[in-house]
Amino acid sequence: MQKERFISLDVLRGITIFMMIIVNNPGSWNAVYAPLLHAEWNGCTPTDLVFPFFIFILGAAIPLAIVTKELNQQSFIKILTRSLRIISLGLFLGFYGKIELFDLEGYPLLICKLIITGIIGYALLGDFEQKIKFYLVSIVFLIFMFLAFSGIEAYQEVRLPGVLQRIGIVYFFTSLIYLKTKFNTQISIVAILLLGYWAIMTLIPVPGIGFGNLDKGTNLAGWIDNLLLENHLWATSKTWDPEGIISTFPAIANGIIGVLVGQILTSNSTKNQKTVKLSGIGIALVILGLIWNPFFPMNKSLWTSSFVLYTAGLATLLVAIFYYLIDIRGYKKWTTPILFWGVNPMIVFFLSGIIPRVLSSIKIPNPAYFIGSLEDNPETIGLQTYWNEYYIVPYFDNPKDASLMWALLNVTFWTIVLWYFYKKKLFFKV
């Protein structure tokens, strides 16, 4: 039996996933309003809040979902299975574009990719007995690892880190920490992770470069990424990854702070006391993050300690606000459309990464082919580009408005899909 489900957390999760769809699906990356872009390096935009918010919520849900706080073989396997399922979903997003089969091209290859996607999706999201879940995900994960390091040319540069991969790793360690430690110990672990990461990044010299620094491509996190995951990093940088190895440790702190909040929500305190505690903690974390910012600047790509405190503080404040409005004052009617989004996050994460790839693979004649140079106007374009350029862009004077409209159309599509799932009680869990 699960513990009480807090609508306030589902609402925050729904808003977070909603924002993810908006920021990840512009009509053109060359025409995006600044708040819907990540900070170029240091700083924190509204877009930068999406990922840490989701990790925080993931952590907050752990005390609610785990009935018995006991680490044994059964609970460990369950945690490991869920972690590997999340990680493998993320890995497949990286492998999808690399799939090659028998020299197939065009639509035959696309059909094969869709079949493989269906098989992988069913294996990782299907509702099986726990033992079957573990065997299936172990097989899928090992296949991905074999392909990545087999020397097969198609997979030599497939990206291994990623958003879902980090979420899976954070869930694994955060769950174990919750089961094996008490509240005060968890606070200590957060402090150790954040202070330790600051010390590692600023005090340890970077081999071949010199003193510790926080610059793009020359910091210690980037050096470790390139050393251990060479050729399997973010394609844009090729030498470091925004979801890299050691920057995952402070991300675990985000999850643990979420766990702390989840324990406050499930405590025996009165609802008003919980609201006061959460508000105070949220304000304190935001202030600490701002104080630390000049010395260890907020940076999502490096996942700096100030970034952890600031984002976790904002998330805690929002939980306090929603908890007060929904659970204390009873204002629940407005939450229903948001709950569509909040109860099915993994299916959105997975398919929202697959669908654009599929649409881009469907090539159609380019109406502008004979206009200008052939280099500027290719003979064929992807279906997604075609829809955007010929059915959205012409109706807007401002390219940024057109780009935003494409994102809002994606939101509309997913709202309909998630409403249907919600109505039919179709909940896809890992």
* pLDDT digit string, tens, across residues 190-233: 999 999 999 999 999 999 898 889 999 899 999 999 999 988 99
Which pLDDT belongs to residue 342?
85
Rounded CA separation 115/282 (Å): 46
Mean pLDDT, residues 308-322 taken together: 97
Q: Is the pLDDT of residue 370 over 70?
A: no
pLDDT tier at 3, thresholds 50, 70, 90: low
Share the mean pLDDT of the chain: 91
- Which among 372, 222, 357 has a CA at the least distance from the CA of 299? 222
% of residues, the chain, pLDDT over 70: 97
Q: Strands 380-382 and 363-365: what pairing? A: antiparallel
Write the secondary structure of 152-206 as one string of H (helix), E (strand) and C (coil): CHHHCCCCCCCHHHHHHHHHHHHHHHHHHCCHHHHHHHHHHHHHHHHHHHHHCCE
Q: Is the pLDDT of residue 1 over 50?
A: no
Cα within 13 Å of Cα(80), Cβ side: 14
Rounded CA separation 417/429 (Å): 16
Which pLDDT belongs to residue 235?
84
Tally of residues, the chain: 430
Q: Residue 131: which residues within 8 A CB-CB, separation 6 or more?
A: none
